[in-house]
Structure 1
């Protein structure tokens, strides 16, 4: 069954499909709908975070934290960071959620950094405001969300008072509003804001002087729509499909139908293409064993693998913000093998005190 479009559509179709043992390739990006026999084909926040953690780990980063908005996207990224660290044998990340208020952002960052508003030391595990299930829903797919994010580009600043957030030097900021501890308890920090809220976060990072080389900043693929305006977090990473991978498909589709394909078309072609590949190889049915083959499938935006638990691992590239009004540059191509790697044995990594 190909085509449950939204999270709600997928939830309604799943019981009947599972009762009939019919596999579902849903076009939603809501990983909460993923389960054995039901695959989420959208480019999910969780998949982006997996790729970022993988790249940061290769750089030598081992202690992950997240400063995230208290909305569905932020919660999805936080969950994704926990899963990614567990999958890759890393210590449990420390996660703090914040509201849109500047004070909430500042307090959350101070807590993550191990200091309170009065300078006292804090324990590692911090949680922000409670989940807001009624906030804006997750976008149905990354590419569609990029179009929405483009409308926010004007609100993301090109420069930030007080210097660049990538200095990584502890001390007073130019505004005198914050002091970073001498040694941060994390060396990679995941963000999830866009638009004006991201400006607030960047101001807090600058005031606390959190950035390179001590901390690698990472964020959502939504940043691609306005990466040229993210100079204050120069050196930050995000994960997204390599645009070059799609060019051939766009050319063929446009020649056939006289218009460019909309983003949702990519997911539809990926789902149908997986079934066609198996049929061409002589498959008589489309059992979970065949669909979850380690070799995966070749999609419009690159390779992808269907995992037994319903998640879809996609080959995403990693891009770095370079500032100065320039677009981000690709620093790591999409991997050719996206099958998940086995994590180190239990006990190989000692988790820090405190919870997320």
Structure 2
């Protein structure tokens, strides 16, 4: 077995103001707590520092993992520094990108006194860490966006495809574009995303009139184009929902579909991934006037600016999840309740506010995030409908 690398690091000094909109709002939202807390979760003494373990991928051969790890830690420490009246003892452990090591350091973290775990990033590691500490009643807030690993004591903080799909379906239905054709890739991951999209359809008011898939290659997309075009025209589709992202098939589809007379305004293109990442995606001709879901841009920009001013470089795109996780933990600890880190506390209907906007954790381990609907005009992002700043009603 690999040697376990665990490091307990002292907080770095932060420069600038210690107040932050996201965290103060998180405390405000969490003020009304539900009754009848569940048993899963440790009893905590909020008069003393509460140990929180942060699991990061460091010490791997994967390019960028060291930067990702340091960015996650930086964002978490920024959030800890913003807390008022709450004490968190943040301890950092590296998983080395290995599920067995993730399980080992998760158990070590609990032995060291951790009462909740934040991370890891990847699905297999998060699943292993959760299983390793389930018997101790410790909850895991992973940075994954894979709903397949959610459940029991594992929660996912990442933006899940069903969450983004629900937002797009609802918006399309309200804007006379509710007959939707869905495009997905013929891979195991693609099948999981299509399943998630179908979950997001429920109760949205939209209708999926066709689903088309393509082999995950440029030639595969070319081969599938005639069938995709015929299905779009014959199904009565008003919109086409892409499941692909900018690193995958999206740029090819955005070019080839309009070249085959499948494009705006006859068909409204929609996406469940963030088309503004990387910024070069905004230059794609076929995505002009398309719709996509994104976290609250005002809060996100505020976080990016503050992080950059503090650490000298822009944060990794998922670093904000570490801040969100600490924001949620801090908000719950701020209630002073001994069951603040129980499952029922984590899944309170009012949710939390982090640097990506409002979010809430669901009893099944997934999450709901309030998202904005954006479009691209003249290669720039334009917000069509802002992200809600609170949740109305029970979680669905």
Q: Where on the TM-score scale, by shorter chain, does this alignment land: which range?
A: 0.5 to 0.7
Alpha-carbon spacing, 1:39–1:87, altered in 2? closer, same or farther (3 Å): farther
Alpha-carbon spacing, 1:290–1:195, altered in 2? closer, same or farther (3 Å): closer
What residue number does 2:137 align with?
21
Alpha-carbon spacing, 1:271–1:25, altered in 2? closer, same or farther (3 Å): same
What residue number does 1:230 align with?
284
Contact 2:167 2:293 (C-alpha < 8 Å) held by counterparts: yes
What residue number does 1:212 align with?
264
Q: Does structure 1 residue 331 correspond to structure 2 residue 384?
A: yes
Contact 1:227 1:328 (C-alpha < 8 Å) held by counterparts: no
- Unpaired runs of 5+ residues, structure 2, are 1-116
Contact 1:236 1:321 (C-alpha < 8 Å) held by counterparts: yes
Shift of residue 222, structure 1, vs aligned partner: 4.1
RMSD: 2.9
Alpha-carbon spacing, 1:71–1:244, altered in 2? closer, same or farther (3 Å): farther
Whole-Å separation in 2 of the counterparts to 1:12 and 1:85: 30
Q: TM-score, normalised by structure 1?
A: 0.68
- Unpaired runs of 5+ residues, structure 1, are 116-179, 344-356
1:94 to 206, 210, 216: 210
2:369 to 314, 328, 336: 314
Shift of residue 45, structure 1, vs aligned partner: 2.9
Whole-Å separation in 2 of the counterparts to 1:45 and 1:247: 22
Whole-Å separation in 2 of the counterparts to 1:341 and 1:186: 32
What residue number does 2:155 align with?
39
What residue number does 2:165 align with?
49
> Equivalences for 1:134-149 in 2 at 5 Å?
none
Q: Deviations 1:58-82 (Å, cap 9, x if unpaired)?
A: 2123322212233466434322220
Whole-Å separation in 1 of the counterparts to 2:342 and 2:395: 24
Provide the secondary structure at the position in 2 that maps to 1:79. helix
Q: TM-score, normalised by structure 2?
A: 0.61
What residue number does 1:265 align with?
319
Whole-Å separation in 2 of the counterparts to 1:95 and 1:340: 32
Whole-Å separation in 2 of the counterparts to 1:254 and 1:103: 41
2:296 to 233, 242, 246: 242
**Number of residues paired by the alignment?**
276
Alpha-carbon spacing, 1:93–1:296, altered in 2? closer, same or farther (3 Å): farther
What residue number does 1:282 align with?
336
Shift of residue 83, structure 1, vs aligned partner: 0.8
Whole-Å separation in 1 of the counterparts to 2:252 and 2:318: 32
Whole-Å separation in 2 of the counterparts to 1:317 and 1:227: 18
Contact 1:26 1:38 (C-alpha < 8 Å) held by counterparts: yes
More strand by share: 2
Whole-Å separation in 2 of the counterparts to 1:318 and 1:107: 32
Contact 1:7 1:33 (C-alpha < 8 Å) held by counterparts: yes
Whole-Å separation in 2 of the counterparts to 1:109 and 1:185: 17
Contact 2:182 2:210 (C-alpha < 8 Å) held by counterparts: yes
What residue number does 2:121 align with?
5
